[in-house]
Amino acid sequence: MFSRTHLFRYFLIFSILFITTSCGPKSPEFVDIRNMDMASLDDGNFVIKAEAVLYNPNGVSLTIDEIHVDVLVNGNKIGNVYQNVSSEAKGKSEFTLPLEVQFPPKALFSNILGGLMNMATGEDFEVRYAGYIRTKVLGVNFKVPFDQKETIGLDM
């Protein structure tokens, strides 16, 4: 049989393990890509702008360290966003990160005939953002992946 001392030791060990594993910081959650827009610029290039929306489930603020996003239009990689940032997001709240990529028209219309047809007929473009955002909560690093698609039109 177990003595009281043994039971107390097991209870103490179990309690310490339970407390240390259940109280750690949680990874931020990717919510959505919002306000996606594509427009032509005066210099002849195009720009795609959007906002990545994330949720911080922790009671304390977190730090955003890095944003890495590949941008694909109609399946063709047209650019990427790589930013080293140092901003904070409050606890238990959503926060947005601006994303912007500029690229020449030839990147968009690499398939010339298909690109010209899309432009002439006013068809929309499928834009895909795929990447990750690196954050830190209470000294613990998290890599938050996402892969989001949306169909948008070109504002000339």
Please name each of the domains of the chain with its CATH number: 25-155 (2.60.40.10)
Distances (CA, A) of 53 to 31, 45, 115, 139, 151: 5, 26, 30, 22, 18
pTM: 0.67
Poorest-pLDDT segment among 26-40, 117-131, 135-149: 117-131
Higher pLDDT, 84 or 8: 84
Phi, psi of 69 (to 5 degrees): -135, 130
- Provide the pLDDT confidence category of residue 18 given band limits of 50, 70 and 90: low
Give the residue-averaged pLDDT of 28-46: 84
Tell me if 129 sits within 8 A of 37, measured CB to CB. Answer: no
Best mean pLDDT range from 5-9, 20-24, 114-118: 5-9
On average, the pLDDT of the chain sits at 80
Residue 112 has pLDDT above 50, yes or no: no
What gap in Å lies between CA 119 and CA 11, rounded to an integer?
A: 69
